[in-house]
Amino acid sequence: MPTITVIPGDGIGPEVTREAVAILDTLGLGLTFDVLDHVNAGRFLATGTALTDDDVTRVRDSAATLLGAVGNPRVTSPEYARGVLLRLRAELDLYVNLRPVRLLHERLSPLRDGRRRDLDCVIVRENTEGLYTGIGGTLRAGTRDEVAVDADVSTWLGVSRVIDHAFGIARRGVCMVDKSNAVPAGGRLWQRCWRDALARHPQVPARHLYVDVAAMNLVAQPETFDVIVTNNSYGDILSDLAATLGGGLGAAASGNLNPATGFGLYEPVHGSAPDIAGQGTANPVGAVLSAALLVEHLGHPDAAEAVRVAVRTTIDDGRCTPDLGGTLTTTGAGAAIRAALG
Ligand code: NAD
Ligand code: IPM
Ligand code: MN
């Protein structure tokens, strides 16, 4: 029986993962769950360590991980998210952050100019390098002469493998997004890896955009995108933008993947949403669709598709949370999806 580690986390994390786990149970795939509900901001504040080596071992020994969200207004240090989410991404070498977005329903597009705005894209975010490695430091902290450096790290291996992954999953084409007109060393490396990848994948339509114009085009012509491959920071920012264009951040799913080992950590794109936590209004769809990605990668594509169809059915019918135009609670929306699963 495959064991799934579950890290509910903070804020709305536990509220939405509860619904996602209930859906996984309904699928009858024989999954068991190892819930690490002690990994949260309270433990970080009390001990300075939210995720211990023992927790990492439990994650490693599981078939996959489902995470809600980490983040609490009482925690201002980046060391909390770095010690949980970024630690798992780095130590398990989850180098692909896969963030698929489809327009959920026409009524949910924020682009209301009378033109139909289809969106069906996948952001492939490099997930272990860029500004997130922690290489850097501070000189003369707290003075007017303070110097802060966070290195923007790109490696030939890291860039090549994530671009190759994008080509591997392309349906209509790949768009590489960088800032090579301004950022010299990393820009040069991304461009070299891109040219080499074009030669390896001559049959796939491909184009390049600078990140500023990519953001503009996502809004102006969302239908022109299929797979977008980009670095860690641009992928983070563009994925919240794309999620909003698709109908809302609360509905966006992601998988942090190592395609070589097959391990994945699945989580909604959104955070712990402290502004709505505890109100029972959080949208569980991002977590539920992340669970769909999880079962798909465990070898159950039909179950994943059934969950996606059930989600779409409930949204079409307006049986959803307020952010998607419905009136249901988090548990009500989860129950509606389970009912639609049949
Ligand atoms: P957020 O994604 O938590 O919230 C942004 C906005 O979207 C809020 O108005 C929120 O109410 C709304 N929203 C988010 N998810 C929703 C849902 N499921 N249903 C309905 N509305 C939803 O971003 P933030 O406010 O910048 O971050 C809050 C905390 O979460 C911070 O500590 C941040 O670091 C953390 N965070 C964690 C993750 C993660 O664990 N993967 C991701 C992003 C942010
Ligand atoms: C995400 C989040 C994280 C990130 C934060 C919480 C560190 O925004 O998963 O998109 O920047 O990767
Ligand atoms: Mn983000």
Say whether 179 is catalytic: yes
Q: What pLDDT does residue 116 have?
A: 67
Tell me the average confidence (pLDDT) per consecutive run of 10 residues in the chain, 342 residues long. Answer: 96 98 97 98 98 98 98 98 98 98 91 78 98 98 98 98 98 98 98 98 98 97 97 98 97 98 98 98 98 98 98 98 98 98 90
Q: Which ligand places an atom closest to the C-alpha of 268?
A: 1
Instruction: Tell me, using a 6 A CB cutoff, whether residue 85 lines ligand 2.
Output: yes
Pocket test for ligand 2, best of 76, 86, 230, 236 (most atoms within 8 A of CB): 236
Q: Which residues contact 336 (CB under 8 A, 6 or more apart)?
A: 314, 319, 320, 328
Cβ pair 249, 243 in contact under 8 A: yes
Of 172, 182, 186, residue with least CA distance to 231: 186
Is 120 in the active site? no
User: Residue written as tokens 């950590």?
Assistant: 265
Which protein residues have their CB within 5 A of the ion that is ligand 3?
Answer: 236
Question: Does ligand 2 come within 6 angstroms of the Cβ of 119?
Answer: no
How many angstroms does the Cα of residue 203 sit away from the middle of ligand 1? Answer: 39
Q: What pTM was computed for the model?
A: 0.98
SS3 for the chain is: CCEEEEEEECCCHHHHHHHHHHHHHHCCCCCEEEECCCCCHHHHHHHCCCCCHHHHHHHHCCCEEEEEECCCCCCCCCHHHHHHHHHHHHHCCCCEEEEEEECCCHHHCCCCCCCCCCCEEEEEEECCCECCCCCEEEECCCCCCCEEEECCECCHHHHHHHHHHHHHHCCCCEEEEECCCCCHHHHHHHHHHHHHHHHHCCCCCEEEEEHHHHHHHHHHCHHHCCEEEECHHHHHHHHHHHHHHCCCHHHCEEEEECCCCCCEEEEECCCCCCCCCCCCCCCCHHHHHHHHHHHHHCCCHHHHHHHHHHHHHHHHCCCCCHHHCCCCCHHHHHHHHHHHHC
Residue of 10, 55, 95, 132 marked active site: 132
Q: So what's the pLDDT on residue 111?
A: 81
> Which ligand gives the minimal distance to the CA of 237?
3
- Pocket test of ligand 1: the residue of 44, 270, 276 to mutate, having most ligand atoms within 8 Å of its CB, is 270
Say what the pLDDT of residue 114 is: 64
Q: Which atom of ligand 2 is nearest to the CA of 240?
A: 10
User: Which residue puts its alpha carbon closest to atom 34 of ligand 1?
Assistant: 71
> Which is the catalytic residue, given 212, 302, 316, 317?
212
Residue keyed to tokens 């994943």:
304
Is residue 236 among the annotated active site residues? Answer: yes
Q: Whose CA is nearest to atom 42 of ligand 1?
A: 271
Distances (CA, A) of 232 to 110, 123, 311: 25, 11, 29
Who lines ligand 1 at CB under 6 A? 12, 16, 69-71, 81, 85, 249-250, 267, 270-276, 282-283, 286, 323
